[in-house]
Chain A
Amino acid sequence: MRARRRAWLFGGMAAAVCPSPAIAAVAGGTLGRVLRDGHIRIGVWLEQPPWGYRRADGTAAGTEVDVARLIARGLGVTSTLVPLSLGERTAAVRERRVDLLSATMVILPERLTQLAFAQPHACFDSLLVFPASLNSLGLDDFIGRRIAVRQNTASARLLRARFGAQVALIHTDTYEESVALVRQGSADAASLPDLRHRFFSLTDANYNLTRRLPVGRLSYGLAMHHGEQDLLHTVNTLLMLARQSGELLAIGEREAVMLGGCVRAPT
């Protein structure tokens, strides 16, 4: 009930030009239903600015929210943005509570068995950040050291894949907590997305993690249930159009993030 009320609150009304029933009936699966009903439910995560967040008035904003609205507009349907927590994103798709996820879903090998991903529409660099006092030139210098990382994130998986048990990962609940642990001397470095590092650099006068090393580049993709081939291809076509028209780039520029220039996923 609560989720339903929240969904109403965030109901985004895309410009709707409903296709004729004769044409809509041609598409299969979820796309067929979406075109027939003139409505799509898109899961978003609003706790990850600038990708997804709530404005002061409670409305949803962020690049992933804008991409969600772009897809709804491209389909010519209205949309309901369904706010999801970090841990419930995959389940929401698998339980058919949402038709599509635009919720900073990093494309990871282990997720491919659970979800189908569209072509990546955004990417970011996962960084190790540390104070200038730490004499480290490369990632291998962190072997045997302590790294604070937000738990359940793609960056945590990336670090585990890179270092295995050669580093001590200290799991935190927030990026702020990761940074605080380094400041206190409880960790040698923090794992941050590039945007968050830039945000701290610009907004926190006491932020002293001035050195950084890239661990890897990760890509976000819109995700959906497996087997929705019509929907997947149509979403990819709309993303291609948005990339070509510069609209995807413009969405990214509004929040100073990198959209549209990512490496294509193999098809």
Chain B
Amino acid sequence: MTIPPPPAAGAACVRNPGRRSFACGALAMLGGALPAAADSLAEIRPLSRVLELERLRVAIRQDSLARGTSPAPTAASELDLTLARLVADGLGVRLDLVPVAPPDRLVVLHQGHADVSFAGLTITEARVRQALFLNPHARIEYGVVSPDAWPLRGVHDLHGRRVGVVPGDDSMTLAETMLPRDITPRPYPDRAARMAALLGGEVDAIIGSRPELTQALARARATGFAYRFTLRVGWMAGAVRFGQHDLLRAINAILFIARTRGDLSAISEHHLGYTLAQPPQI
């Protein structure tokens, strides 16, 4: 299959429900005026309304759209962007992207600012209480990166060490639930700051997802660091608002077709560097 390219900056920018997005404003300036699709009304749209309006509003991590800026988009974010296009194409509607900060990834659904969220979400128990998840479309590993001078073998080696995380991100949740209690995670405002802290020796290790961490190390041309071990395997999936079962089923059907044709695996290989064998189904 052909992996669809990410949308142009101007076409991507929509609105920022959480008032945290710099990407949106920057992209509007760079890419021109907001598209007509960027209606500002909050509305809960069932599938019939989406088809009637011929527009699907998809929440996407704001850093997915920050092409050429810092922090750079992660592979997972770019994958989500591809998925958003695939789903909109499958429904035969125009894609309106809604850039969101991590804490707002499900809030936008409740507020009626987006119909579906493909914003770097992995399925967790806490999130299951907040939205309906689509069938998974990618597999992500969360683990630890440290300097070669300190080759970690497992969680027990982290005792007494400084570990960098990003609050509101999965790295913080993992640090709180899986690390020894004598470790106080050091919070950083974003992934770039977390990586800078590792490279600068402020922390002994950082937690994040693979291949995001390894790609960030490669971009920074940082040598002497490596991904050490996996804390948890996560399944990335989109989400819709509670009650939106028609929309859920329609998108799951599109994902089913993509999975059986091998498209999901190709998308995973293109963005993450590995194929997707058989994702679990809900």
Residues of A bordering B, CB below 8 Å: 17, 19, 22-24, 26-28, 31-32, 35, 73-76, 119, 229-230, 233-234, 236-238, 240-241, 243-244, 264
How far is it, in angstroms, between the C-alpha of A260 and the C-alpha of B53 when the chains are bound?
41
Determine whether B110 belongs to the interface, using a CB cutoff of 8 Å to chain A: yes
Contacting residues of chain B (130-169) with chain A, CB-CB under 8 angstroms = 130-133
Question: Are A26 and B245 in contact, with the CB atoms below 8 A?
Answer: no
Determine whether B125 belongs to the interface, using a CB cutoff of 8 Å to chain A: yes
Residues from chain A with Cβ under 8 Å of B133 in the complex: 237
Determine whether B248 belongs to the interface, using a CB cutoff of 8 Å to chain A: yes
**Which 4 residue pairs are nearest across A and B when measured between Cβ atoms?**
A27-B242, A74-B125, A230-B242, A237-B128
Beyond A22-B110, A233-B282, A243-B280, is A76–B129 a contact (Cβ under 8 Å)? yes
Interchain CB contact (< 8 A) of A28 among B125, B129, B243: B243
CB-based nearest B residue for A31: B242
Question: Are B129 and A23 in contact, with the CB atoms below 8 A?
Answer: yes
Question: Are B280 and A76 in contact, with the CB atoms below 8 A?
Answer: no
Question: Are A23 and B128 in contact, with the CB atoms below 8 A?
Answer: no
Residues from chain A with Cβ under 8 Å of B130 in the complex: 19, 23, 26
How far is it, in angstroms, between the C-alpha of A22 and the C-alpha of B125 when the chains are bound?
18
Residues from chain A with Cβ under 8 Å of B242 in the complex: 26-28, 31-32, 230
Residues of B bordering A, CB below 8 Å: 106, 110, 123-126, 128-133, 233, 235, 241-243, 245, 248, 280-282
Interchain CB contact (< 8 A) of A73 among B125, B241, B243: B125
Beyond A23-B110, A241-B123, is A230–B243 a contact (Cβ under 8 Å)? yes
Min distance, Cβ B214 to any Cβ of chain A, angstroms? 23
Interchain CB contact (< 8 A) of A234 among B110, B132, B235, B281: B132
How far is it, in angstroms, between the C-alpha of A76 and the C-alpha of B282 when the chains are bound?
19
How far is it, in angstroms, between the C-alpha of A32 and the C-alpha of B106 when the chains are bound?
16
How far is it, in angstroms, between the C-alpha of A119 and the C-alpha of B131 when the chains are bound?
19
Question: Are A26 and B241 in contact, with the CB atoms below 8 A?
Answer: yes
Question: Are A233 and B281 in contact, with the CB atoms below 8 A?
Answer: no
Question: Are B243 and A234 in contact, with the CB atoms below 8 A?
Answer: no
Min distance, Cβ B279 to any Cβ of chain A, angstroms? 10
Beyond A230-B242, A230-B243, A233-B248, is A241–B128 a contact (Cβ under 8 Å)? yes
Residues from chain B with Cβ under 8 Å of A264 in the complex: 281
Question: Are A240 and B281 in contact, with the CB atoms below 8 A?
Answer: yes
Residues from chain A with Cβ under 8 Å of B282 in the complex: 119, 233, 236-237, 240
- B243, B248, B281 interface centre (most CB from chain A within 10 Å): B243
Residues from chain B with Cβ under 8 Å of A32 in the complex: 242
Min distance, Cβ B108 to any Cβ of chain A, angstroms? 12
How far is it, in angstroms, between the C-alpha of A73 and the C-alpha of B248 when the chains are bound?
24
Beyond A26-B110, A240-B281, A244-B233, is A234–B245 a contact (Cβ under 8 Å)? no
How far is it, in angstroms, between the C-alpha of A161 and the C-alpha of B131 when the chains are bound?
41
Residues from chain A with Cβ under 8 Å of B281 in the complex: 240, 264
15 A-B pairs (CB sep. < 8 Å): A19-B129, A23-B129, A26-B110, A26-B130, A28-B242, A31-B242, A32-B242, A73-B125, A76-B126, A76-B129, A233-B282, A234-B128, A237-B128, A238-B128, A244-B280
Beyond A28-B243, A241-B123, is A74–B128 a contact (Cβ under 8 Å)? yes
- B124, B128, B243 interface centre (most CB from chain A within 10 Å): B128
Min distance, Cβ B177 to any Cβ of chain A, angstroms? 12
CB-based nearest A residue for B135: A240
Contacts A17-B126, A27-B243, A264-B281 supplied; 6 other A-B pairs, CB < 8 Å:
A19-B130, A22-B110, A234-B129, A238-B128, A241-B123, A243-B280
How far is it, in angstroms, between the C-alpha of A35 and the C-alpha of B110 when the chains are bound?
15
How far is it, in angstroms, between the C-alpha of A264 and the C-alpha of B281 when the chains are bound?
9
Min distance, Cβ B137 to any Cβ of chain A, angstroms? 14
Interchain CB contact (< 8 A) of B245 among A19, A35, A233, A236: A233
Question: Are A240 and B241 in contact, with the CB atoms below 8 A?
Answer: no
Min distance, Cβ B129 to any Cβ of chain A, angstroms? 5
Residues from chain A with Cβ under 8 Å of B132 in the complex: 230, 233-234, 237
CB-based nearest B residue for A244: B280
How far is it, in angstroms, between the C-alpha of A76 and the C-alpha of B8 when the chains are bound?
41
Residues from chain B with Cβ under 8 Å of A19 in the complex: 129-130
How far is it, in angstroms, between the C-alpha of A74 and the C-alpha of B123 when the chains are bound?
12
